[in-house]
Amino acid sequence: MRVSFLIAGFLATWSAMASEFERPWVSPAAPLILDCYHANAIDWNQLATEPRVVAIIHKATTGSRKLDPQYLARRREAASRGYLWGSYHLGLRGNPERQADHYLRSVQPAENELLALDLEDVTSTRYMNAAEAVRFIKRVKQRTGRYPVLYVNARSARVITENHRHPVFTKTPLWYARFAGNLDPFPPGPWPSYTLWQFSSEILTQQAIPGTAYDMDVNVFNGTMDELKARWPLTKGESATQAPPGAPGAAGTRPLRARRKRIGRG
């Protein structure tokens, strides 16, 4: 009898791990999140026919100057339709504090809007590296009182794990990009698991979403629909402080005041 209980427990644990790391989006109850930029077409009426899509994370800014031309209009549209909302910044090399200030000044995030940093390739000379990412994350925390979600692929996660074990990364929920049916092996390091898994895109379209084309990035949340709604925007705010005089990018900055605009369902 004891052996039977042990076997049953092992199978239950294995099943739970399999559903987390192997094609969790096939579940009809799995919450899905789109992440997009201006070139991704959206037919909002068709999109509304997929009830599993409950949130949208839109590209907002790139570097220290660019703003996505569709960001503001789509935020208004998403709000009117009851979607949870978030934004991300595409990090480039050079002055991460200035980039963080540009990002926050552009989006003016409300307390219920997700913040995220997109690290495309920390080994590249074009994109933000891991050391700069630490500075960006700290700046966002200083200005808003909360940490951003961190988007990385397997290569960047491995570099961070092996060469940049900074404790700040443990504060950033992992948004993991892997276009495959499983996460084996999952990278060891600051993240015990993923929070969001970007599993479908033009690289490998694994989930068709009504109202979008094959190139739409689709993500699954590691949890239930109710858990996603309860945890959104995935990081909670603490007190924000003004940058000290003379700090990089400090000129013209001040603590952000969250807008009292409610976006979301339920």
pLDDT of residue 146: 98
pLDDT at 187: 82
How does residue 240 score in pLDDT terms, banded at 50, 70 and 90?
low
Give Cα 31 distance to the centre of its chain. Answer: 14
Q: Is 192 helix (H, G, I), strand (E, B) or coil?
A: coil
**In the prediction, which pLDDT does 165 show?**
79
* Beta carbons of 176 and 157 less than 8 angstroms apart: yes
> Per-residue confidence at 227, pLDDT binned at 50, 70, 90?
very high
Q: Is 225 exposed, middle or buried (0-12, 13-18, 19+ CB in 10 A)?
A: middle
pLDDT band at 253 (very low <50, low <70, confident <90, very high): very low
Using pLDDT thresholds of 50, 70 and 90, give the confidence band for residue 164.
confident
d(CA 76, CA 80): 6
Q: Which residue has the higher pLDDT, 253 or 81?
A: 81
- Please say whether the beta carbons of 209 and 34 come within 8 A: yes
Which CATH architecture fits 35-231? Alpha-Beta Barrel (3.20)
Domain boundaries, the chain: 35-231
Q: In angstroms, rounded to a whole number, what is the distance separating the alpha carbons of residues 48 and 38? A: 19
**Distance of CA 107 to CAs 4, 18, 87, 112, 178, Å?**
55, 37, 8, 13, 27
Query: Sign of torsion, CA 63 69 70 75?
Result: positive
* Burial state string for 73-96 with b = 16 or more CB within 10 A and e = fewer than 16: ebbeebbeeebbbbbbbbbbeebb
Does position 266 have pLDDT exceeding 90, yes or no?
A: no
pLDDT recorded at residue 258: 37
More confident residue, 92 or 263: 92
- The two beta strands, 116-118 and 217-221, are unpaired
Distance of CA 232 to the CA centre of its chain: 11
Q: What's the token pair of residue 50?
A: 């997929």
pTM equals: 0.84
Write out the two tokens for 90: 């595409």
Phi-psi region of 256 (alpha: psi -120 to 50; beta: other; left: phi over 0): beta
pLDDT in tens, 102-152: 999 999 999 999 999 999 999 999 999 999 999 999 999 999 999 999 999
Q: What is the pLDDT of residues 36-94, one digit of tens each?
A: 999 999 999 999 999 999 999 999 999 999 999 999 999 999 999 999 999 999 999 99
Q: How confident is the model at residue 22, as a pLDDT?
A: 93
pLDDT tens digit sequence for 165-174: 789 999 999 9
